Structure 1
């Protein structure tokens, strides 16, 4: 049965919307061959092929070019060319889709949404456009809308790997890990070479504690895509957590490229692999450029008069029973409420607990912003009219540094949570001291530096140590042998310090090494490494997690705390010192490698700050073999705990408040941020 021209025209228009211009041309040509005198058909064919090029496939070729540009990452060119095609033919659904996807990647979110909606209007079963719109909604934090549109994309195309992957991402953000895992699995089934889906599967498996499986997921992702640094970095990070040191050689082959050239990575993952503040800065800068698309900035009018109370906003996912808040409770308790108005913004999953309840009573307002979009969090923060916004998480898990790109306050600070620079242009200051950021390394921090006079780290001098009646045997320790201790996360341990520790065990008869039990795989690997160094693996004793006050109490059964190098003991060092346990450290170059030295300076125990690896080993051996020397050190620490600045919470708070005031005064005077030295 022959088709009428109107039927042919309808089919041709649908083919054009679907991006198949060449088939539309063929359809018109076949009709003209059958009805050579039909003027309407000849006119339609002429309009379809008269785009300034000689070839009748010119429009198809131009569509193919736009798609190719987008796939190659040349999004500005693809946006311009897609827009030009739309000017000529507004019914090209594929061009609208590419325009929308390109606009999204360029940060033009309104144009992106309108373009993708137009593509779907023209072609309701366009799974690619549905998937892209779902991704846009996910980026905007519109989780319900994202779920709905992505489910529609999968219904239209059950093999849409990208839709499965993005929907998995939405469910992951909502904390529905089981469902997220299933969708990531569906994504890799639909596309067995889908590197990003393997990467996301690794992420959800990591969060579910299935570490070897997560490592395998990241390994697959890195294998599927050359120079997929983010997947490789996560694989290496898990290997560090597992104390699988085979990852060290793999890291060293790409140390000057991973997260520095090409694709950005999460900077935290590489802290334990390398003590290099310059490389860490470059990783942070690359991460910031990739992840923080700067939205329109508010105009903060310069205040004419000094405000009666500075409004300080602290932002964290850890306002519950967490190490960071444990350190900060003294600060919150001692804030001068006659001069400062304190607001806490909690975006963590933990919604209750004794510490949270106590904290909420120490601030002027406690905002629960868990699960809200970036835009809503920004709006709620701006309603407080903050003078200073404090980022307490940085590039650690659950961090939401992206909200600071919106400018929550005219002054923004990086404080406590992340031991290094954030590498952004919207964080003005980093809180530090002259030990963690000495002048020779200051150029590796994009923020201006606030130098506190003692240590940058806050402490609470009211932390309770349980009055327990326990013995060493209760923890699997020998009653008489010397107990070396390191309660740091196992990921911080590298062969460099482990070699020293094993030599110490061999030189100190009957001694043991008391470590924190991070996971069973790390226990197995560390015991294997001990055996390889000629040490009975049973001389490694592992401590389980306890409540804070009981954890502090068990320090009395250890003799000496041995620090790790690239990433020091942070809270764990403060724990030990507060509990009266001496800490030996060897400072490195980057912030993370100098924290314990900062704490020891502030508590007046600089004799425990080694000058080299050899010195570190020598100090530890000397104290282990000479009980009278160790006893003298312990007595000094006991005295200094109450006489030196480290645990003087009120003194610390006054110094930090002086820094806040100085930063605000500079802003009020119309001056740019500058280094601040608190005396």
Structure 2
């Protein structure tokens, strides 16, 4: 696997002139860019030995430690660097990343704000600040920041993270432009592997690349499907894990279900691509996309002849190296097709699988959950960045219309909960009507849905895994489907459960429906009984059926690329 020319030149340069501080710093950058964190760490360390305490060397070493998951060390090094050069926006930005992952969310926001103050016109930094303010439910200047980011995307001037952009109230066409700009930046820096071909006969070899193979939403959604695919035996299943073994039961089940689980967590991008190619993968599924912690550079090298965007990233990849997106006819209707760079393939069921082997633990009492003894419990266990002003205005209006009700939320980072309580007070509500649940192990969290009466979804970024969790645990989900993939996922689940009244046409209908159900215990009980029935008699949670449909779809893709089914005809 040849290295890119710039890295080769820099490696030669430091061999010829081991005292060249600048060359070591540049080499550290090039190694980290290529995903070789060990080599990047080494180069930054050498630079620091040449000039102890130099901010540029401290910053590179901090960035290397951050990429290695050594977040506390990274934050310390980058803080030292930022204190030495407080007017350096790039170091402030990296410090923000490190503090974010080191569990110091409010300090991370301060670092992003400092970077933005220094470079107010830089869309990437604006987008980072905007995204982090959303996570902290800090809605100051949200609209102007959002407008600036959307405008930069429209002008093609931005490299904005497409995942963060999903939280903006942008159209599917804007999301495509954002993803294309990000993909173009990656493609420029990489060379594709020589073309490979799908095997002509025999079992198709299917690869899945993800950083979520463990106790993570992706692992939770896919594990039962992989078990059913293994039982069906028509495909060879290769999981390429970008995350190390987390020791979870889910990871062990994934390992057992796959033909092979390849731990590629410590490998640079080119080595991962080479391993996928050497394994002879025919169809490769990207189970991360732009979701952060993924490896788009690996897919950009074209390690497999057919590459598919599915499940983890709710939008288009905008990438020339992704051939297909796998969806369903509700979440990605014909009207959305032009906003996707991929060819659209649709399953005859909801595109999202889930773990139908989960057994609900007994629900703890209301008091143990911090809930009042009486009153309707509305819930929304979505991540804090989805709880934007529009979604909370809607939820507050529901609380106004249902006396004695409470809204049960997932506790957010930093001071997010306090900010939401302040927003409730401004809306004329007693802030005590917001109840916060700490992050809990999955089975414990899942059991708590049994104490919730109705899930109030968010817009434009829906509940995805959380909607699936709620429905599996018997809690109905009220949503307001929009005109983007990310705003139609909960709607797709309701549609395939044959619960169309849970898909509200607009905010007014959403609020009216929630209030009507909240004030009518019998209607609410009837809805829950219908959900319990639909859960077993529709195909939404039928993973054996999903495995058959998924296999047929993969084989159809294979046939389009020259594979011949020995059993056909």
Note if contact 1:130-1:149 (Cα within 8 Å) is conserved in structure 2.
yes
Aligned to 2:567: none
TM-score by length of 1: 0.79
Note if contact 2:105-2:413 (Cα within 8 Å) is conserved in structure 1.
no
Give the C-alpha shift of residue 120 in structure 1: 4.7
Alpha-carbon spacing, 1:552–1:156, altered in 2? closer, same or farther (3 Å): closer
Alpha-carbon spacing, 1:130–1:643, altered in 2? closer, same or farther (3 Å): same
Alpha-carbon spacing, 1:153–1:255, altered in 2? closer, same or farther (3 Å): closer
Alpha-carbon spacing, 1:413–1:302, altered in 2? closer, same or farther (3 Å): closer
Note if contact 2:308-2:325 (Cα within 8 Å) is conserved in structure 1.
yes
Aligned to 1:49: none
How far apart, CA to CA, are the structure 2 residues paired with 1:620 and 1:144? Answer: 53
Aligned partner of 1:140 among 27, 31, 34 = 34
Give the C-alpha shift of residue 660 in structure 1: 0.5
Aligned to 1:274: 169
Alpha-carbon spacing, 1:163–1:643, altered in 2? closer, same or farther (3 Å): same
User: RCO higher in 1 or 2 (8 Å CA, sep ≥ 6)?
Assistant: 2
Give the 3-state SS of the residue equivalent to 2:87 in structure 1.
coil
Give the 3-state SS of the residue equivalent to 1:412 in structure 2.
strand
Q: Does 1:374 align with 2:291?
A: no
CA deviation digits over 1:611-634, x for unaligned, max 9?
111111111111111222222211
User: Which stretch has the larger CA shift, 564-573 or 252-261?
Assistant: 252-261
How many residue pairs end up in the alignment? 560
Aligned to 1:34: none
List aligned pairs for 1:129-208, cutoff 5 A: 129-158=23-52, 160-208=54-102
Aligned partner of 1:631 among 516, 525, 534 = 525
Alpha-carbon spacing, 1:558–1:341, altered in 2? closer, same or farther (3 Å): same
Aligned to 1:225: 119
Aligned to 1:298: 194
Aligned partner of 1:662 among 556, 562, 569 = 556
List aligned pairs for 1:416-455, cutoff 5 A: 416-455=311-350
Aligned to 2:358: 463
CA deviation digits over 1:32-59, x for unaligned, max 9?
xxxxxxxxxxxxxxxxxxxxxxxxxxxx
How far apart, CA to CA, are the structure 1 residues paired with 2:369 and 2:17? Answer: 67
Aligned partner of 1:388 among 280, 283, 288 = 283
CA deviation digits over 1:207-263, x for unaligned, max 9?
011111101111111222242222221111111111111142232431432445323
Aligned to 1:485: 379
Give the C-alpha shift of residue 501 in structure 1: 1.6
How far apart, CA to CA, are the structure 2 residues paired with 1:284 and 1:254? Answer: 17
List aligned pairs for 1:267-666, cutoff 5 A: 267-292=162-187, 293-301=189-197, 303=199, 305=200, 307-335=201-229, 337-468=232-363, 470-666=364-560
Give the C-alpha shift of residue 368 in structure 1: 1.0
CA deviation digits over 1:652-672, x for unaligned, max 9?
1211111111111001179xx
Note if contact 1:566-1:588 (Cα within 8 Å) is conserved in structure 2.
yes
Structure 1: where are the runs of 5+ without partners?
A: 1-107, 671-679
Give the C-alpha shift of residue 650 in structure 1: 1.1
Give the C-alpha shift of residue 109 in structure 1: 5.4
Alpha-carbon spacing, 1:122–1:587, altered in 2? closer, same or farther (3 Å): same
Structure of greater Rg: 1
How far apart, CA to CA, are the structure 2 residues paired with 1:341 and 1:118? Answer: 43
Give the C-alpha shift of residue 125 in structure 1: 3.2
Give the 3-state SS of the residue equivalent to 1:183 in structure 2.
helix
CA deviation digits over 1:436-486, x for unaligned, max 9?
111112111111111112211012222111134x32121121222111111
How far apart, CA to CA, are the structure 2 residues paired with 1:163 and 1:598? Answer: 49
Note if contact 2:198-2:558 (Cα within 8 Å) is conserved in structure 1.
no
Note if contact 2:324-2:342 (Cα within 8 Å) is conserved in structure 1.
yes
Give the 3-state SS of the residue equivalent to 2:330 in structure 1.
coil
User: Which stretch has the larger CA shift, 522-531 or 430-439?
Assistant: 430-439
Give the C-alpha shift of residue 408 in structure 1: 2.0
Alpha-carbon spacing, 1:645–1:190, altered in 2? closer, same or farther (3 Å): same
Note if contact 1:349-1:370 (Cα within 8 Å) is conserved in structure 2.
yes
TM-score by length of 2: 0.94
Note if contact 1:311-1:385 (Cα within 8 Å) is conserved in structure 2.
yes
